[in-house]
Amino acid sequence: MSEKSEYPSEKSEMSSAAFVQSALRDHLAPPSLGQVTARIRHAARRLRWSYSRTRDAWYADPRISISADELRAIEAATGLRYGRQELSEIEELISKADALLGDPQADMYRPFIAAIRAFAGALHSSRTEG
């Protein structure tokens, strides 16, 4: 059975269950820890969750609902933030950069704006890929 699965999504955004699944598999209990059961057990201990709850999150069981406290625990343990918040922050940065283009000195700022767009785009794409 393959460990990778399609992430459930809504409007092409990562769901909270998919975010938790990715955080567990890639950051909290990476493949270097060994077999999947050992990785799930390791993640359960780090999060202080039950083994069955961690297993359900590991496989992104569609019946589970991730609470805000659980999401914060994942974010604290991994250093990651839930993708929708990052996306809104990046879009806010881009909108501020676009506001600079309306300035009479816009030609002077264009290279700077292009650099910000490239940086924000690189940040965004590196966070969303599995």
Residue 6 lies in a domain: no
Predicted confidence at residue 5, as pLDDT, reads: 41
Query: Which of the 8 DSSP states describes residue 35?
Result: S
Report the C-alpha gap between 88 and 101 in whole angstroms. Answer: 20
Q: Same domain, yes or no, for 94 and 46?
A: no
Residue 5 lies in a domain: no
Count structural domains, the chain: 2
Predicted confidence at residue 96, as pLDDT, reads: 77
pLDDT, tens digit (0-9, with 9 covering 90-100), for 38-89? 999 999 999 999 999 999 999 999 899 989 899 888 888 887 766 556 666 7
* pTM value surpassing 0.75: no
Report the C-alpha gap between 7 and 15 in whole angstroms. Answer: 8
pLDDT above 50 (res 1):
no
Q: Same domain, yes or no, for 91 and 112?
A: yes
Residue 89 lies in a domain: yes
CA 74 vs. chain centroid, Å, equals 10
Segments forming the whole domain that contains residue 93: 84-128
Predicted confidence at residue 130, as pLDDT, reads: 47
Query: Which of the 8 DSSP states describes residue 29?
Result: S
